[in-house]
């Protein structure tokens, strides 16, 4: 969840609100960008370790869900955002699309109520 570093740098996190966007309270504001984004040609074991470290930062973040929803709405194609990797976000988006399609296609109950 390196959204805070990419969107804006500030000296210290402040509570989110109307005058303060969600990313100002992000836990990742003080971490290295490299923790959340893969260097080119990163070995798999190193990537998994780095992503796990990034997710640990996200786990203690007060704006984890805001960050995740931002990354899903954009959609952000790279990095760890809201505790999810790009691959995990693709799965979430696919599930949401499937759910939305099912909600549209599934007809309501058609049986009669005996009385």
pLDDT in tens, 56-106: 999 999 999 999 999 999 989 999 999 999 999 999 999 999 988 877 765
Where does the pLDDT of residue 33 fall: very low under 50, low under 70, confident under 90, or very high at 90 and above? confident
Which pLDDT score, from 0 to 100, does residue 111 have? 52
* CA dist., res. 107 & res. 110, Å (int): 8
* Segment 35-70, tens digit of pLDDT: 999 888 999 999 999 999 999 999 999 999 999 999
49 is in an annotated binding site: no
13 is in an annotated binding site: no
Q: Which pTM value belongs to this model?
A: 0.71
61 is in an annotated binding site: yes
**Average pLDDT of the residues in 6-11:** 42
3-state class of 108 per DSSP?
coil
Say if residues 86 and 76 touch (Cβ distance below 8 Å). Answer: yes
Phi/psi at 96 (5° precision): -65, -45
What angle (nearest 5°) sits at the alpha carbon of residue 69, between those of residues 30 and 10?
Answer: 25
* Tokens of residue 23, six digits: 């990313």
* Tokens of residue 102, six digits: 């099912």
* Tokens of residue 57, six digits: 């930062």
């Amino acid at each position: 969840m390196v959204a805070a570093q990419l969107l804006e740098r500030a000296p210290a996190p402040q509570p989110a609100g109307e005058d303060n966007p969600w990313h100002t309270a992000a836990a990742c504001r003080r971490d290295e960008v490299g923790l959340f984004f893969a260097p080119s040609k990163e070995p798999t074991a190193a990537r998994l370790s780095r992503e796990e470290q990034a997710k640990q930062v996200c786990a203690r973040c007060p704006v984890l869900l805001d960050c995740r929803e931002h990354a899903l709405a954009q959609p952000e194609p790279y990095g760890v955002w809201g505790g999810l990797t790009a691959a995990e976000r693709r799965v979430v988006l696919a599930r949401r699309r499937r759910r939305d399609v099912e909600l549209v296609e599934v007809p309501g109950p058609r049986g009669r109520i005996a009385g």
